[in-house]
Structure 1
Amino acid sequence: MKKALLPLAAVAALGLAACSDKAQNETAEAAEAIGADANATMSEAADDVEAATDGALSTAENAADRAGAAIGEGADRVGNAADAAEDELDKNN
């Protein structure tokens, strides 16, 4: 009777070993999928940060351009006023 159980035990052990390999493969595949998802998420996050940074820099650049234009216009007005004042002084002298 003990001799009859030995082959059954061996077959059962091989079956468990096969399940164990399958379980290991499935676990490895799941880990790879999680890693791929994490990489994709990080890549998307990096792209989002880059896009937000580009947008912020573009907005700041536009604001600086507008400020520069306003300063230039103000300087032109001051220059025109100085020229007009000089012309008035020349008329009176």
Structure 2
Amino acid sequence: MKKLTVTLMSALALAACGQNARNETAEAANATAADASAATGEAVTDVDAATENAFGSAEQSLDQAGRSIENGAEATGAAVENGAEKAADATGNTLIRAGKAIED
């Protein structure tokens, strides 16, 4: 009998505040949905910003790599040119000495 009384009392209590409880539950659900929407919007903004930063960083790295390659190519070209000039001078000097040796 006690269980039946408690059950009936609980049912009456829920029935008495049913509409108020439903309204509050709906308001809480709306607030939760608004919070979730705002959090999702912020997350999208954060991901977009992180992606943009990553692309910017990658672009800068590629630009720097390109400049380094270009500088290396220029330095290599200058070294080859300098080496070729020295080789030509040495060959010319050797030929001059050889010619003088033949004359003597």
TM-score, structure 1 normalization: 0.89
Identity across matched positions, percent:
11
The equivalent residue for 1:7 is: 19
The equivalent residue for 1:75 is: 87
Report which stretch shifted further, 2-11 or 46-55: 2-11
The question of 1:46 aligning with 2:74 is answered no
Amino acid at match of 2:36: Q
The question of 1:90 aligning with 2:102 is answered yes
Amino acid at match of 1:75: A
Q: Which runs of 5+ in 2 are unaligned?
A: 1-13
C-alpha RMSD over aligned residues: 1.6
The question of 1:56 aligning with 2:68 is answered yes
Amino acid at match of 2:70: S
Structure 1 residue 8, shift from structure 2 partner: 2.0
Aligned length: 92
The question of 1:24 aligning with 2:60 is answered no
- Rounded to whole Å, the distance in 2 between the matches of 1:26 and 1:5 is 31
Q: Which runs of 5+ in 1 are unaligned?
A: none
TM-score, structure 2 normalization: 0.81
Report which stretch shifted further, 77-86 or 3-12: 3-12
